[in-house]
């Protein structure tokens, strides 16, 4: 999986315990579709990882950016991520060719993204691409987190929703003590989806997040009569 050598040029904390890692790809011919992932390999990790030193990670940036590529991860979520976080700026790691089928399949129907936690990373790539293209396709994003401070890229999504009337952001948190929160509380269910979507059957759905959330949303959509071929899923452990 060692196809391309890339250099770490930036890393920063974007929300509670969540970091972005940006790599220079200006010297390689790297092409991917918004929503895809790649395998990243650390040649000289600080800590030995029994699961190996390569992991699949979703690309969070738009493929239109030909000079750099960004990923995001929760610090402390694995030995690999700890090793990635410990790399100094200027370090080089390997990236494989892109993989995955979570890119857009249908450009004629409204798109509905339902994401939980760090599962938001491929969605960011797709939404940024749509915003850059001034897409007229309607895109809904239902984005669930335990609390506001866990919501990666939330400010960017808010800005994009203001810039493009076809992008509708519906964030959720479980922290009911957040009195300044202006959006939804609790879990995503059929009732709240109908509140924003009205008719569920005629949309294309992308469900990304923890396995239990993905399974729950899939069952919810199937019960609402959404056809199997209109539901695309990816589970983030």
Higher-pLDDT residue of 101, 160: 160
> Is residue 100 assigned to a domain?
no
Predicted local distance difference test score (pLDDT) of residue 180: 94
> Is residue 153 assigned to a domain?
yes
Answer yes or no: is pLDDT of 51 > 70.
yes
Q: Please check whether residues 76 and 150 belong to one and the same domain.
A: no
Print the domain residue range for 210: 111-235
Taking only the tens place, the pLDDT of each residue in 144-165 is 999 999 999 999 999 999 999 9
Q: Please check whether residues 135 and 44 belong to one and the same domain.
A: no
Q: Please check whether residues 214 and 177 belong to one and the same domain.
A: yes
Looking at the 3D structure of the chain, how many domains does it have?
Answer: 2
Predicted local distance difference test score (pLDDT) of residue 188: 94
pTM of the entire predicted model = 0.93
H helices within 8-163, ranges in order?
A: 79-86, 121-132, 154-163
Answer yes or no: is pLDDT of 35 > 90.
yes
* Contact by Cβ (8 Å): 41, 57: no
Q: Please check whether residues 141 and 167 belong to one and the same domain.
A: yes
Answer yes or no: is pLDDT of 135 > 90.
no
Q: How confident is the model at residue 222 (pLDDT cuts 50, 70, 90)?
A: very high
Q: Please check whether residues 190 and 155 belong to one and the same domain.
A: yes
Q: Between vectors from CA 202 to CA 234 and to CA 210, what angle results, nearest 5°?
A: 20
* Contact by Cβ (8 Å): 221, 205: yes
Q: For the chain, what percent of residues have pLDDT higher than 90?
A: 83
Mean pLDDT of the chain: 93
Q: Which CATH number is 142's domain given?
A: 3.40.50.80
Answer yes or no: is pLDDT of 104 > 70.
yes
Q: Please check whether residues 12 and 125 belong to one and the same domain.
A: no
> Is residue 104 assigned to a domain?
no
The two structure tokens encoding residue 30: 């790297």
* Contact by Cβ (8 Å): 182, 148: no
Answer yes or no: is pLDDT of 1 > 90.
no
* Beta-sheet pairing, 4-15 with 111-116: unpaired
> Is residue 217 assigned to a domain?
yes
Q: For the chain, what percent of residues have pLDDT higher than 70?
A: 97
Q: Which of 106-115, 167-176, 225-234 has the lowest mean pLDDT?
A: 106-115
Q: Please check whether residues 82 and 24 belong to one and the same domain.
A: yes
Answer yes or no: is pLDDT of 2 > 80.
no
**What is the mean predicted confidence (pLDDT) over 115-137?**
93
Given the structure tokens 């579709």, which residue do they identify? Answer: 33
How far apart are the C-alpha atoms of 87 and 77, rounded to whole Å? 16
């Amino acid at each position: 999986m060692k196809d391309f050598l890339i250099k770490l040029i930036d890393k920063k904390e974007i929300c509670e315990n969540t970091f972005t890692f940006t790599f220079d790809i200006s010297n390689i011919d790297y092409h991917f579709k918004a929503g895809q992932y790649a395998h990243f390999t650390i040649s000289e990790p600080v800590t030995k990882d029994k699961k190996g030193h390569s992991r699949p990670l979703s690309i969070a940036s738009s493929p239109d950016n030909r000079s750099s590529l960004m990923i995001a991860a929760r610090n402390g979520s694995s030995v690999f991520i700890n090793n990635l976080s410990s790399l100094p700026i200027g370090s080089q790691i390997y990236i494989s060719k892109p993989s995955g089928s979570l890119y857009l399949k249908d450009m004629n129907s409204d798109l509905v993204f339902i994401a939980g936690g760090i599962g938001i990373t491929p969605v960011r790539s797709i939404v940024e691409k749509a915003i850059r293209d001034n897409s007229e396709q309607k895109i809904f994003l239902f984005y669930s987190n335990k609390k506001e401070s866990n919501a990666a890229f939330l400010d960017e999504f808010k800005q994009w929703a203001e810039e493009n009337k076809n992008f509708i952001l519906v964030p959720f948190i479980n922290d009911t003590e957040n009195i300044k929160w202006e959006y939804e509380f609790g879990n995503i269910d059929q009732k709240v989806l109908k509140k924003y979507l009205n008719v569920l059957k005629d949309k294309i759905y992308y469900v990304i997040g923890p396995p239990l959330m993905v399974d729950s949303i899939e069952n919810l959509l199937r019960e609402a009569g959404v056809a199997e071929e209109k539901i695309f899923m990816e589970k983030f452990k």
